[in-house]
Amino acid sequence: MDGKWGEWVAPDNPQSKSEVVASVEEIEQAIAKLKTADLLKLNAFAWNRSQSLGLRGIVHSGEDLLQDAVCALLEERRHWNPKKVDFVGVLMGAIKSIASNLWEAAKAKGFELPASQFVGPDEDGKEALSPVDLLPATGLNPEQAAIASNLLTEIQETFSDDPEAHVVMDGLWDRMSGTEIIDALGIDRKTYETIVRRIRRQVAARWPKGIHNVR
């Protein structure tokens, strides 16, 4: 991460605990005031983080992450001063932190799934399969991994007429950071961000379903 986040609250630097903590009413008002575009940005971010967790076999939907982020603010695990900080930014910080904690916890304890993901007995009393039974112990199974890989290959192929985007995807394939790609290509950050924006749009168009839903 390179720190260029606009109104984003850096998750590794939460506000001071002496900051005012938002009340239920303030949070409800802030949710009510969110515009369509704000909600879409939150959705895109939560969805992205849930897909990243999905790559590791952790089933936690974007909606779960959004719900958890609000809960974390109210439980005072995250602090928010409504007068100083943008609500979208603080929620994204909470989502990123929650996703990171889920991944760390999964690495430390083995994989755990949220209660909402467990399926109870059906009307006939037969025990339904829980996602635990359906998921591999760690990461994606070979079929899911191949689907994810093909999806990214397809996205890259859409840039056959866009050499800039194609070469940035090569950099991402080489696991380079944004700054490393900028340095390697000798481009400025604005140009890089414009290229990544084109890639982001292809992702939005071609990756509508979660990888972890592919079975």
Residues that bind another protein (CB under 8 A): 1-2, 4-6, 8, 24, 27-28, 31, 34-46, 48-49, 51-52, 55-56, 62-63, 66-71, 74-75, 88, 91-92, 96, 139-140, 145, 148-149, 152-153, 156, 169, 172-173, 175-178, 193, 196-197, 199-201, 203-205, 208
CB of 128 to another protein, least distance (A): 23
- 61 with 210: CB under 8 angstroms? yes
If the CB atoms of residues 37 and 108 are measured against another protein, the closer one turns out to be 37
Give the rounded distance of the alpha carbon of 119 from its chain centre: 24
As a whole number of angstroms, the distance between CA 185 and CA 170 comes to 11
CB of 119 to another protein, least distance (A): 19
Which phi and psi (to 5°) does residue 128 adopt? -80, 160
CB of 72 to another protein, least distance (A): 8
- 179 with 196: CB under 8 angstroms? no
- 42 with 92: CB under 8 angstroms? yes
If the CB atoms of residues 122 and 152 are measured against another protein, the closer one turns out to be 152
CB of 84 to another protein, least distance (A): 19
If the CB atoms of residues 111 and 124 are measured against another protein, the closer one turns out to be 111
Name the token pair of 36.
Answer: 């369509």
As a whole number of angstroms, the distance between CA 170 and CA 195 comes to 13
Q: What is the dihedral of CA 105, 109, 115, 120, to 10 degrees?
A: 160
CB of 19 to another protein, least distance (A): 19
If the CB atoms of residues 127 and 143 are measured against another protein, the closer one turns out to be 143
Q: Which residue has the tokens 């990461």?
A: 139
If the CB atoms of residues 135 and 148 are measured against another protein, the closer one turns out to be 148
